[in-house]
């Protein structure tokens, strides 16, 4: 049977490979764009190499920017307000307990004034981390359930998920931005045109091929980025659930919390497509709406059944599954 530490190590290896895949996609996309545009300007190879360098540099610089300031952007866009212990004593007490259990420094604590129960963690490392919860979570969860939720978020801090989700979020955003720029260029300028003599020289066919490849990659970029985010988030949610049980020594608190989170229909107004993968449950998907294929979160039923496997309890019965099936 795998341990929490072996799962964490495997998760980090997979995460590193995903970063390489995203950067490789950026490089290939840049090459296709550069060659197609460069052929119209007389030197496709130089343009292609330059475009690869620019695309990769853009992704790396964006990742560095997110590393040092992405968490503050996330908190600001979520309308999260930092609070002190006297303002939320029970929350601070639970966060302190989980930080001690995880062996990480006490993170900053934020509250989002919203009746929808939810929570997320962000930051670049355990020494620069923050945990944000909604006012609805504090109102609707008992202490045991709150402990399970905070344990889940503290696991994201301890496992360095917070750093990775910030960086990957920006990298996949870079792909989407480059795709939009390329499609706009292709629409307005036709990807660049040369004279008929140039086109008959033999290089025109290769330029057209790379132009087509660039257009196809640009069209598929949103699907690719959604799949990357889904793969990253789903695997890490499962691990954080298991790690929460390790920290709290109580799988029933998180199980009960997940059921409450899934069945609550209050929309979270401050959430958006760029931050939805950070939350413990998808704030944009209620009552099974949308496609499960591209969901950033695993189905609640699967998450609860995995928790029950850790304790040897029976999986959810058909009545329970009907109540929660499709909820994320």
**pLDDT category of residue 99 using cuts at 50, 70 and 90:** very high
What number is the average pLDDT over the span 3-19? 64
* Mean pLDDT over the full length of the chain: 80
The answer to whether 69 touches 163, Cβ cutoff 8 Å, is no
What number is the average pLDDT over the span 215-221? 74
What is the pTM assigned to this prediction? 0.78
The whole-number pLDDT of residue 287 equals: 36
**pLDDT category of residue 151 using cuts at 50, 70 and 90:** very high
Planar angle of CA 120, 121, 127, nearest 5 degrees: 170
The distance of Cα 285 from the centroid of its chain, to the nearest Å, equals 15
pLDDT of 195 above 50: no
The whole-number pLDDT of residue 135 equals: 97
CA distance 261 to 258: 5
Tens digits of residue pLDDT in 303-326: 999 999 887 888 888 877 777 654
Structure-token pair, residue 262? 């899934």
Give the residue numbers annotated as catalytic, written as ranges.
153
* pLDDT top residue among 10 and 159: 159
pLDDT of 142 above 60: yes
**pLDDT category of residue 127 using cuts at 50, 70 and 90:** very high
List, in order, residues 6 or more apart from 182 with CB less than 8 Å away: 29, 33, 214, 215, 218
């Amino acid at each position: 049977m795998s341990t929490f530490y072996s799962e964490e190590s495997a998760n980090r290896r997979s995460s590193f490979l995903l970063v390489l895949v995203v950067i490789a996609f950026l490089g290939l996309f840049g090459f296709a764009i550069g060659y197609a545009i460069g052929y119209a300007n007389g030197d496709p190879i130089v343009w292609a190499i330059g475009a690869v360098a620019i695309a990769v540099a853009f992704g790396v610089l964006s990742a560095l920017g997110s590393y040092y300031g992405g968490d503050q952007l996330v908190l600001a866009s979520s309308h999260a307000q930092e609070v002190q212990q006297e303002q939320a004593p029970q929350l601070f007490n639970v966060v302190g307990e989980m930080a001690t259990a995880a062996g990480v420094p006490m993170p900053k604590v934020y509250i989002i004034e919203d009746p929808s129960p939810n929570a997320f963690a962000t930051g670049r490392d355990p020494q620069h981390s923050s945990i944000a919860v909604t006012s609805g979570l504090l109102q609707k969860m008992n202490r045991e359930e709150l402990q399970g939720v905070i344990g889940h978020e503290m696991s994201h801090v301890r496992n360095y998920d917070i750093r990775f989700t910030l960086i990957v979020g920006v990298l996949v955003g870079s792909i989407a931005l480059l795709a939009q720029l390329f499609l706009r260029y292709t629409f307005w300028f036709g990807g660049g045109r040369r004279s008929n003599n140039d086109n008959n020289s033999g290089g025109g066919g290769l330029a057209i091929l790379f132009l087509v490849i660039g257009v196809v990659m640009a069209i598929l970029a949103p699907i690719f980025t959604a799949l990357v985010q889904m793969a990253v988030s789903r695997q890490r949610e499962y691990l954080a659930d298991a790690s929460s049980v390790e920290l709290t020594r109580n799988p029933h608190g998180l199980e009960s919390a997940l059921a409450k989170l899934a069945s609550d229909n209050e929309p979270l107004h401050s959430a958006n497509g760029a931050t939805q993968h950070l939350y413990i449950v998808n704030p944009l998907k209620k009552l099974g709406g949308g496609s499960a294929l591209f969901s950033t979160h695993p189905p609640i039923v699967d998450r609860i059944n995995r928790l029950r496997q850790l304790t040897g309890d029976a999986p959810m019965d058909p009545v329970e599954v009907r109540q929660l099936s499709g909820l994320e």
